[in-house]
Amino acid sequence: MTTEPTREELDAMFKPLMIWTEAYNRRHPSNPVDFRDFMFMGTDGDVSMYKHPMTRRYIHIGTDGPLSWANGTYAPVADVSALVAKVCG
């Protein structure tokens, strides 16, 4: 039997995404991102993984911001606006 996460656990799961979306939205007010549009999928070390339910694409948030996943490794995202367009549709 699975139990629902507590409010504190939910806050911890979504904190990296919330911090990043707040910063992104300040820089891109005409194209805001709502962290509530994502599902928490887990962590990989210091990287939190979130999935957009409509596009089924992931966003990976590390300690320094969004990361891309390619060839078995994470790398910083150079074009954040392109990432948002890809992930959010």
Q: Is residue 64 part of a domain?
A: yes
Q: Which stretches does DSSP call E strand in the chain? A: 39-44, 47-51, 58-62, 65-70, 73-76
Q: Is residue 68 part of a domain?
A: yes
How many domains is the chain partitioned into structurally?
Answer: 1
**Amino acid of residue 87:** V
Q: Is residue 63 part of a domain?
A: yes
* pLDDT for residue 22: 94
Average pLDDT, the chain: 92
Residue-wise pLDDT for 50-86, tens only, equals: 999 999 999 999 988 999 988 999 999 989 989 999 9
Q: Is residue 1 part of a domain?
A: no
Q: Is residue 2 part of a domain?
A: no
Residue of 60, 66, 27, 64 lying closest to 44 (CA atoms): 60
Q: Is residue 20 part of a domain?
A: yes
Alpha carbon distance 50, 41 (integer Å):
5
Q: Is residue 78 part of a domain?
A: yes
Q: Is residue 69 part of a domain?
A: yes
Query: How many residues are present in the chain?
Result: 89
Q: Which domain holds residue 80?
A: 7-88
Query: pTM score, two decimals?
Result: 0.86
| Residue 67: alpha-carbon gap to chain centroid | 9
